[in-house]
Amino acid sequence: EMVLTQSPGTLCLSPGERATLSCRASQSISSSYLAWYQQKPGQAPRLLIYAASSRATGIPDRFSGRGSGTDFTLTITGLEPEDFAVYYCQHYGSTPTCTFGQGTKLEIK
């Protein structure tokens, strides 16, 4: 069964800095079937990236995704105050279920 491991668990940065979040898969992910979500306290997740690098509708271009195989990255350039949240990766396009990572919390330093 696929396991997604996100690192670091917590990332402390200041507004304006660049954030790099990692998602590592236990098996190779074909065709980059990987998505990223942002979740703020008390809110539902929001889709940011799908197909590893495609931004969802309305997502600012400071969010970018890349990767293939087992290693994927979400990068946020020029952190805004509203970007501090928890980020999850998700593998889809497989059976018997789709899988989420455990999350990375992005905190203000």
The least distance separating other proteins from the CB of residue 27, rounded to whole angstroms, comes to: 15
Q: Residue 84, interface with other proteins (CB under 8 A)?
A: no
CB of 96 to other proteins, least distance (A): 5
Q: Note the helical H segments in 1-109.
A: none
Taking a C-beta distance cutoff of 8 angstroms, is the pair 63, 47 a contact? no
By beta-carbon proximity to other proteins, the closer residue of 16 and 41 is: 41
Q: How far apart are CA 3 and CA 32, in angstroms?
A: 15
Judged by CB under 8 A, does residue 90 bind other proteins? yes
For residues 40 to 79, the per-residue mask of contacts with other proteins, x marking binding by CB under 8 A and - elsewhere, is ---xxxxx--xx--x-x-----------------------
Q: Helix, strand, coil % (nearest 5) of the chain?
A: 5, 55, 40
By C-alpha distance, which of 86, 84, 88 is closest to 99? 88
Instruction: Find the part of the chain contacting other proteins (CB under 8 A) among 14-22, 32-40, 58-66, 67-75.
Output: 32-40
